[in-house]
Each structure stands twice: as structure tokens, then as C-alpha cells.
Amino acid sequence: MPTTNADIAAAFEQIADLLELQDANPFRVRAYRNAARVVGELKLDLAAQLAAGKPLPKLPGIGPDLSAKIQEFAATGHLAALDRLRKEVPAGVTDLLQLPGLGPKRVRALYEELHVHTLPQLLRAARDGRIRSLPGFGSKTEERIVAAINQKLGEVKRFKLAVAAQYADALLTHLRAGPGVKQAIAAGSLRRCRDTVGDLDLLVTAADGAAVCRHFASYPDVRDVLQLGDTKASVVLKSGLQVDLRVVPPASYGAALLYFTGSKAHNIRLRNLALDRGLKLNEYGLFKGDRALAGATEEEVYERLKLPWIAPELREDRGEIEAASKGRLPRLIELADLRGDLHVHTNWSDGTASLEAMAQAARAHGLSYLAISEHSRRLTVAHGLDPVRLAKQVHEIERLNPALSGVQLLTGIEVDILDDGALDLPDAALAPLDVVIAAVHSKFNLPRAKQTARILAALENPHVKILAHPLGRLIDQRDPYDVDMPAIVRKCKARGIALELNAHPERLDLTDLHCRMAKDEGALVAINSDAHSVHEFDNLAHGIGQARRGWLEAGDVLNTRPLVALRNWLKR
């Protein structure tokens, strides 16, 4: 894949940042920074030089090791050393480097002293007054960090994915009834399945763009019309959600869909690839001079750039282009890969439907097994089960299973993790169950060390098979609790415990970054609906989107296994 000097320099700069985060030898760090500066300022195209069979010129401060890395990057589009370092640093830490005034030394201090590695964790530490106590920070620095994070996280009001999808579906139905509309689709962050959406980007093909735009602006839920033209229009719905429409000819549909799906970082990489080949890529197509080479479909645009089609969920410039260029894109999990759901509730606790009704609904959604995982007794507000009621439910499930067709119920419990890491029910009550899910439902504000120790202790219980909603977040309602996720993921891997990706749209917990972390560490993920009614199995689709953003394949997910294989895993 063609590589620019800027690409090489950026890779060296990232290596320097990550080495400095690890407190590596300062001379080694300095060597990479110097190399980044030298290569970045060099006018000679090093990759082109190598491609022509010519040796690298002698460059100041760049010896045999760095020269070899330049050759590696020019040939492959990535560096093995950088890949290794990325795996050694928790996902999210590099996001801290994007904040003004936080260089690697300060980020390292925050990571080592306060154990923060995400923006929400850093914000919590600042609000708790823990940053000012570190040498070289102080209260003013803490205030600036809060302001920078708030600006980064709160620039745009965002809507939960499920909510935005509902607005989009209704608008697309309206548009498809418009004059001469051939194709209508939602692009943007909704198509990439981000857990929240800032605005909607809708794309339409039609002969009369002006008529379509007028029809769009006539939508009854429109509060304000910001722009109304012949090929584009923007409105604000009564909810405050902004919606942007573009009308394009069929010949540009694929290029426009690619452009408006994003992400911006992914699009920049593609445009640079096009430029390296003497081409121009924009929302109208891929061009050689004035001649259009591709544009009707996304596939043909990627093909002309010598890449396979990349799924929208991966388009975040997190290594997908490098993987595509080497034929190593994951075969992402699909909804049809799920064989069962391992976390649902019935009217035995805080659900709304009976055991049999939930089983029938699961079967209607193409599932062949369902684990009933009520709350345990401590969660009295949810009418949690004590050992006696749990035993009665187990008996009822055993009685019901022979009468069920096409689906089997598994016995289980979502047992509370107590403050000290013990579980809410005794081992004698847990032992007969097929699935034990451990969950934090209280004391969300424990200090990081205590919260982590609490969960790690619970994971030592031999009956635990799944860790529920590992971050405890409720989107826009409750921040994730402060916990050492790398330690949690590695403990789950070591103990043979699956991390739940709770697909409820209020949670979507694990995050995409932590799904990727689990995959990299070899820990299994269980995608569960957390359904409390027969309608909530639709949540699984949102979980699949989140899993795909985390590069998960079917083999990374526990409940893609047939029932026999699942039972074998549970009995280990």
C-alpha cells in the first residue's frame, strides 16, 4: 500500500508517545521523535524511492534499525513494533494525549498514579480533586483538564443509537414516498453503529432533487429548516436532532455513501490513498483527472483503491485499512450467528412475561436456547430471588423444557457482587445452575482500587461464568464506574469467564474499545439482550453493531455456539 513520509513520521511519533508512556529509555524515545521530524520534513518520497529499487538516503539520526522500520512500513503499511506497543497500552490511553497540555509525561503520571486510561476516568479524577495532588499539576491544571474534556465530550448533544435509529427509520419511510426516490439510506455515525449519534445523515438518489428536498422539509416533525436547496437540505426535528439530506445521481451513490458514512479519519486515509495513485476521491466519485473511474457503489471505489470493501462499523482508522490491504479484515459477527441469549428476566423478578412467553419470543427471533437470569435477593426493588424461590424456578424450568419446541431454557441467576466481592447467594444455591452471571448493582463510586478488587474477588468464585455489564454505565445517565479494565479482562481470560456485551440500548456495555481489548487478550464475549419483555430481543441487533465495531468475529462470542458446545463450555 503506498505510504507517504507523513505516514512514516506519524508512526514513529506514536511509537515515541507509547514508549514514553511506558517510561522507556529517554534516548530511545528521542531517537524516534528525531526520526519522525527528519522523515516528516523530507521532500524525497521514501516509499517511492524504495519502490523504485533505490536505497534509502543517509539521514541524520536514522541508523540501520530505523531504516529497516522505514522499509517495513513502506512495504506493509504498518510496523510490528507499533502493533506490539498498542497492545501493551490499554485502549483509550492514547486519547488522553489529544487533550491540550497533556503530553506523554503527564499522561504517564495520570496513568501510573491515578490509574486512569479513558477520558471519563480522567474527568472523574479531576472532579474528585485527585489530579491537583500530583506533582507538577495543581488546581489550575485540573480545571483546564476538566474544561478540555467537557469540550471534547460535550460539544454536540448526542442521541442514543436506538433512539436515533427510530428517527431515521421514520424519515426514510417518508423520503421513500417522495417524488421519484430510487434509494434512501442513513449514513454517518448511525450506519457505523456508534453508541450515540450527534446528527443524522440521509442519502437519496432521485432525478428531481429539489422536489425531494421540499418533500423532506415538509416532514411533520420538523421544527426548523436550516437549509433548503436543489440537492441538499438540513432540518432540526422537534427533539433537537439535526438531520442533513443529500440527493445524488445513481452514478455517485457509492462514493457519496462512503463519504457521508465516515468516519472523517477513515475518509482522509482513503483520499490520501487516492492521491498516492494520482487520483481524486470525493463524494461524487473516484476520478483520474476529469474521468470518473468509480462511484456507483462503495465496493467499486474500494476495489479501484486496491482494497476489499470495509464494513462501516470498522471505519474509524483503527487499523482497518492496514488489515484490508493485507487481506486480514475480520469476518465480523452477524446477528444470524447468535444461537442463544444468556441474560433475560421474566415475571419471576422484574420482567413482564412468563418463562414460556420469553421462550417463544426467543424462538421467534431465531434463538435455540435462553438462559433465565433473574436478579438475586439483594436487589429487592427488582423482586430478586432468594435460594428458595430460585430452586422453585429451576424446578419449573425443568418441568417446562420437555414441552418446548425449538428452544431450550437454561437455569441461571444474575447474582449481585457485594461490597467485599462475595456473591449475594451461597454456593449451594449457585452450584445446580447452568449459568451464573455476576453483576455490580451498587456502590458505583468506590475508588478504583476497591472497585477493581471487588470484581476480581467475585471472579474467583468457581460458579461464575459471565461478568454482566462490566462498566456499569447507563448512557447519558450514569458514568462507567472507575475500574481497571485490563486487569478485569485478563482475569476473565485466565478464569474462563465471558465478559458480557449487554445489548440494552441504555448500556451497550462493553464499549467497542473494550470488545477489541477482549479479542486481543483472547477473552470470550457474550452478547446478551438483558430482555425484560418479549419485545426486547431486538436489543441483540444493537449489541451486534457494538461487537462489530470491536472487530469481534463469531468465534469470539460465547453464544454463537450450539447448545451442546455451550453446555460443554459451561461444565468445564
Transcribe 253-318 into DSSP letters: HHHHHHHHH--HHHHHHHHHHHHHTT-EEETTEEEETTEEEE-SSHHHHHHHTT-----GGGTTTS
DSSP codes joined into one string, 3-53: --HHHHHHHHHHHHHHHHHTT--HHHHHHHHHHHHHHHH--S-HHHHHHTT
Sequence-distant (6+) residues with CB within 8 A of 366 are 336, 338
User: What are the start and end residues of each CATH 3.30.210.10 domain in the chain?
Assistant: 253-325
CA-nearest of 503, 28, 551 to 330 is 551
How is residue 366 written as a grid cell? 431465531
The pLDDT of residue 43: 67
pLDDT tens digit sequence for 381-436? 778 999 999 999 999 999 999 999 999 999 999 999 999 999 999 999 999 999 99
The pLDDT of residue 92: 72
Distance CA 370, CA 357 (A): 12
User: Is 446 within 8 Å of 457 (Cβ atoms)?
Assistant: no
Q: What is the pTM of this model?
A: 0.76
pLDDT tens digit sequence for 216-245? 999 988 999 999 999 999 999 888 889 999
How is residue 451 written as a grid cell? 472497585
How is residue 526 written as a grid cell? 457474550
Is residue 94's pLDDT more than 80? no
For the chain, what percent of residues have pLDDT higher than 70? 98
Average pLDDT of the segment spanning 35-63 = 82
The pLDDT of residue 278: 95
User: What are the start and end residues of each CATH 1.10.150.110 domain in the chain?
Assistant: 5-154
250 CB neighbour count, 10 Å cutoff = 14
The pLDDT of residue 1: 43
pLDDT tens digit sequence for 130-140? 898 888 888 88
The pLDDT of residue 20: 83
The pLDDT of residue 137: 87
The pLDDT of residue 472: 95
Q: At what angle do helices 485-495 and 448-459 cross, to 10 degrees?
A: 10
Residue with grid cell 428517527, as numbered in its chain? 167
DSSP-based three-state secondary structure for 132:
coil
DSSP codes joined into one string, 79-110: -HHHHHHHHHS-TTHHHHTTSTT--HHHHHHH
State which CATH number among 2.30.30.140, 1.10.10.10, 3.30.200.20, 1.10.150.110 fits the domain covering 5-154.
1.10.150.110
Distance CA 479, CA 154 (A): 14
User: Is 95 within 8 Å of 118 (Cβ atoms)?
Assistant: yes
User: Is 57 within 8 Å of 43 (Cβ atoms)?
Assistant: no
The pLDDT of residue 155: 54
| 210-215: Cβ within 8 A, 24+ apart | 211/178, 211/179, 211/180, 212/175, 212/178, 212/179, 212/180, 212/181, 212/245, 212/247, 213/245, 213/247, 215/174, 215/175, 215/178, 215/179
Distance CA 343, CA 507 (A): 14
Distance CA 539, CA 527 (A): 10
For residue 238, how many C-alpha atoms fall within 13 Å in the half-sphere facing its CB? 4
**335-570: CATH topology:** TIM Barrel (3.20.20)
User: What are the start and end residues of each CATH 3.20.20.140 domain in the chain?
Assistant: 335-570
Of 8-22, 118-132, 220-234, which has the strongest mean pLDDT? 220-234
Q: How does DSSP classify residue 370?
A: E
Q: Mean pLDDT over all residues of the chain?
A: 92
pLDDT tens digit sequence for 250-300? 999 999 999 999 999 999 999 999 999 999 999 999 999 999 999 999 999
The pLDDT of residue 299: 98
Burial class (CB in 10 A: 0-12, 13-18, 19+), 240: exposed
User: What are the start and end residues of each CATH 3.30.460.10 domain in the chain?
Assistant: 159-248
Distance CA 247, CA 205 (A): 5
User: Is 314 within 8 Å of 548 (Cβ atoms)?
Assistant: yes
State which CATH number among 3.40.50.720, 3.30.2350.10, 3.30.460.10, 3.30.70.270 fits the domain covering 159-248.
3.30.460.10
CA 308 to chain centre: 21
Residue type, 353: A
Q: Which CATH class is domain 253-325?
A: alpha beta
